[in-house]
């Protein structure tokens, strides 16, 4: 397996433009990561003010997606890059679409703060927080793999997302059982369910981004392919 | 408001290539529409065999997404299209990503067939089917708007998706109340909840596609903008 240094691709006359786009995409990734971290903190500390900040600040991320899209279109029109560079730009366009949606999912997590939970329900929030931090770590690894266009790191994310899916399923079963025992708590539990689901989907979106990285570096073989079937 | 005839954009030397890409994207749209229709039929008629067909045939849609992505990259590299045509190609790349995910959501609906429902629970499935057919109609209108790059039709989808969201919320409240009354039925109800959620998300993805259409035709003003704020 080979690691691809992005430097190899930053060559020729559109060097600066491409570097700018990658920097903006990384800046967007940083904001999305902050959204997720803040949403988990808001729920953990029951901090409605922080939740409101998360809920009201996605316009920055949306604007970045649009302006990076524009930059990508402009660089293609202006520089007419070769196929390899073009594939990198397509990978960036797809990545930022997933990043934007991760920001949306973070907002769903922040909404848990609008519900009240009894002392005996706190362990469910702790489970949510624990899975949340696994997903946050996965997002960080994904952004890191993206920055370095690192196929090995991207494949590792693929594997870890399977663990997160397992954990998600067992927490979901636990919540289902809890609701069956305490039907009065179903409305609060539904908010936890949506937050868990949001975490699971963030994991899937990290996997998407890693597939774009692998696709860009390796060609089309691995997208929509089971991890076990990928032979590098 | 003006309708944009796609013919205006099919000009110059890359005419045939672009027409091919659009035809392939429409073919993909047709398959995704069939996936949704079949998944609703499988649930309505409790047809496990049809559900299995839905669950096992997404590879076609995945393959189409990848091959259209490749076609788009190739046409850009080969033909070096002008900014307007390039924006159309970017809109297609983003649209097929959403179409592929609509296929994934259809599979979640098909999974409802693996649960058994009592006579008294049938009305919940009828509600699901009814919302499902609203969403199917929305998808058909979206594909139609895409084929014609029709901004008016795209804006109409935007408005109808808000109605679907309302309907989704009220059905979700109904299900929550049902679960509180009949906690023993929670596991089956969770499968209905995931199917309802899948329908709501298909509506959101139709809205995304319509935003790409508006974005392509009108420029960047309307993406991530509330419908009420769009002045055309």
pLDDT of residue A218: 78
For residue B197, give how far its alpha carbon lies from the nearest alpha carbon of chain A (Å): 10
The pair of three-digit structure tokens given for residue B86, joined into one six-digit string: 């390039």
Q: Taking the alpha carbons of B32, B35, B38, B42 in that order, is the dihedral positive or negative?
A: negative
Place of tokens 């370095």: A148
pLDDT of residue A223: 54
For B173, phi then psi, to 5°, come to -65, -40
Pick from A59, A97, A220: which is nearest to B97 by CB? Answer: A97
For residue A80, give how far its alpha carbon lies from the nearest alpha carbon of chain B (Å): 6
Lowest-confidence segment of B36-45, B86-95, B163-172, B196-205 by average pLDDT: B86-95
Whether A73 and B90 have beta carbons less than 8 Å apart is answered as: yes
* pLDDT of A227 above 90: no
* Spatial distance between the Cα atoms of A214 and B132, rounded to a whole number of angstroms: 35
B160-185 average pLDDT score: 96
End-to-end CA distance of chain B: 6
In sequence order, the 6+-apart residues with CB closer than 8 A to the CB of A71 are A17, A20, A21, A24
- B215 pLDDT tier (thresholds 50, 70, 90): confident
CB neighbours of residue B82 within 10 Å: 12
Place of tokens 């929509």: A224
pLDDT of residue B218: 78
- B193 pLDDT tier (thresholds 50, 70, 90): very high
pLDDT of residue A231: 46
A146-159 average pLDDT score: 93
Whether A157 and A207 have beta carbons less than 8 Å apart is answered as: yes
Is the pLDDT higher at A166 or at B218? A166
CB contact under 8 A, A77 and B73: no
In sequence order, the 6+-apart residues with CB closer than 8 A to the CB of B177 are none
User: Whole-prediction pTM value?
Assistant: 0.87
For residue B79, give how far its alpha carbon lies from the nearest alpha carbon of chain A (Å): 9
Pick from A66, A77, A81: which is nearest to B83 by CB? Answer: A77
Residues in chain B within 8 Å Cβ distance of A94: 93, 97
Whether A72 and A94 have beta carbons less than 8 Å apart is answered as: no
CB contact under 8 A, B223 and A87: no
Tens digits of per-residue pLDDT, A25-65?
999 999 999 999 999 999 999 999 999 999 998 899 999 99
Tens digits of per-residue pLDDT, A120-143?
999 999 999 999 999 999 999 999
Residues in chain B within 8 Å Cβ distance of A74: 83
pLDDT of residue A67: 93
Tens digits of per-residue pLDDT, B50-97?
999 999 988 999 999 999 999 998 888 888 888 788 889 999 999 999
Surface-to-core class of residue B182, CB atoms within 10 Å of its CB (0-12 exposed, 13-18 middle, 19+ buried)? middle
* pLDDT of B25 above 50: yes
CB contact under 8 A, B77 and A90: no
Is the pLDDT higher at B122 or at B230? B122
For residue A193, give how far its alpha carbon lies from the nearest alpha carbon of chain B (Å): 10
Residues in chain B within 8 Å Cβ distance of A97: 94, 97
| Side-chain half-sphere CA neighbours of A39 within 13 A | 32
| Side-chain half-sphere CA neighbours of A113 within 13 A | 23
Tens digits of per-residue pLDDT, B92-131?
999 999 999 999 999 999 999 999 999 999 999 999 999 9
Question: Which residue is closest to B67 within chain A, CA to CA?
Answer: A220
- DSSP letter string over B144-157? HHHHHT-HHHHHHH
CB contact under 8 A, A90 and B69: yes
* pLDDT of A5 above 50: no
- Write out the residues of chain A at the interface with chain B, using a CB-CB cutoff of 8 A: 59, 62-63, 65-66, 69-70, 72-74, 76-77, 80-83, 86-87, 90, 93-94, 97, 176, 179-181, 183-184, 186-187, 190, 197, 220, 223-224
- Average model confidence (pLDDT) across chain A: 89
CB contact under 8 A, B186 and A176: yes
* Spatial distance between the Cα atoms of B54 and B32, rounded to a whole number of angstroms: 10
* pLDDT of B221 above 90: no
Whether B151 and B6 have beta carbons less than 8 Å apart is answered as: no
Tens digits of per-residue pLDDT, A174-187?
999 999 999 999 99
* Spatial distance between the Cα atoms of B97 and A194, rounded to a whole number of angstroms: 23
Whether A81 and A21 have beta carbons less than 8 Å apart is answered as: no
Question: Residue B46, by phi and psi: left (phi above 0), alpha (psi -120 to 50) or beta?
Answer: left
* pLDDT of B206 above 90: yes
CA triple A208-B139-A107, angle to 5 deg: 45
ipTM of the complex: 0.83
pLDDT of residue A84: 82
Residues in chain A within 8 Å Cβ distance of B94: 93, 97
CB contact under 8 A, B90 and A83: no
Among candidate residues A155, A140, A148, A137, the one with its CA nearest the CA of residue A214: A155
Pick from B70, B83, B184: which is nearest to A73 by CB? Answer: B83
* pLDDT of A203 above 90: yes
pLDDT of residue A58: 87
pLDDT of residue B166: 97
- B222 pLDDT tier (thresholds 50, 70, 90): low
Residues in chain B within 8 Å Cβ distance of A81: 77
Whether A36 and A136 have beta carbons less than 8 Å apart is answered as: yes
- Where exactly are the structural domains of chain B? 2-229
- A82 pLDDT tier (thresholds 50, 70, 90): confident
Indicate the fold that domain A2-229 takes in CATH: Methane Monooxygenase Hydroxylase; Chain G, domain 1 (1.20.58)
- DSSP letter string over chain B? --PPPGGGTS-STTHHHHHHHHHHHHHHHHHHHHHHHHHHHHHHTT-HHHHHHHHH-HHHHHHHHHHHHHHHHHHHHHH---HHHHHHHHHHHHHHHHHHHHHHHHHHHHGGGGS---GGGHHHHHHHHHHHHHHHHHHHHHHHHHHHT-HHHHHHHHHHHHHHHHHHHHHHHHHHHHHHH-GGGHHHHHHHHHHHHHHHHHHHHHHHHHHHHHHHHH-STTTT--GGG---
B83-110 helix and B58-79 helix, angle to the nearest 10 degrees: 170
For residue B204, give how far its alpha carbon lies from the nearest alpha carbon of chain A (Å): 11
Question: Which residue is closest to B215 within chain A, CA to CA?
Answer: A66
* pLDDT of A1 above 60: no
């Amino acid at each position: 397996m080979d690691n691809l240094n992005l430097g190899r691709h930053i060559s020729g006359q559109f060097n600066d433009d491409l570097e700018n786009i990658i920097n903006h995409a990384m800046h967007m990734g940083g904001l999305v990561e902050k959204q997720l971290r803040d949403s988990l903190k808001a729920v953990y500390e029951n901090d409605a003010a922080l939740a409101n900040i998360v809920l009201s600040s996605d316009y920055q991320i949306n604007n970045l997606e649009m302006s990076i899209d524009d930059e990508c279109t402009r660089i293609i029109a202006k520089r007419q890059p070769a196929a390899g560079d073009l594939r990198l730009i397509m990978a960036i366009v797809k990545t930022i679409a997933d990043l934007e949606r991760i920001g949306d999912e973070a907002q769903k997590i922040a909404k848990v703060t609008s519900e009240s939970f009894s002392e005996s329900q706190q362990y469910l929030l702790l489970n949510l927080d624990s899975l949340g931090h696994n997903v946050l770590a996965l997002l960080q690894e994904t952004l890191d793999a993206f920055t370095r266009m690192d196929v090995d790191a991207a494949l590792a994310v693929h594997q870890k997302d399977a663990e997160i899916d397992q954990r998600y399923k067992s927490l979901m079963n636990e919540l289902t059982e809890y609701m069956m025992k305490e039907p009065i708590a179903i409305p609060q539990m539904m908010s936890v369910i949506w937050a868990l689901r949001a975490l699971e989907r963030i994991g899937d979106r990290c996997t998407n981004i890693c597939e774009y990285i692998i696709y860009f570096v390796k060609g089309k073989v691995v997208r929509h392919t089971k991890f076990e079937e990928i032979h590098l």
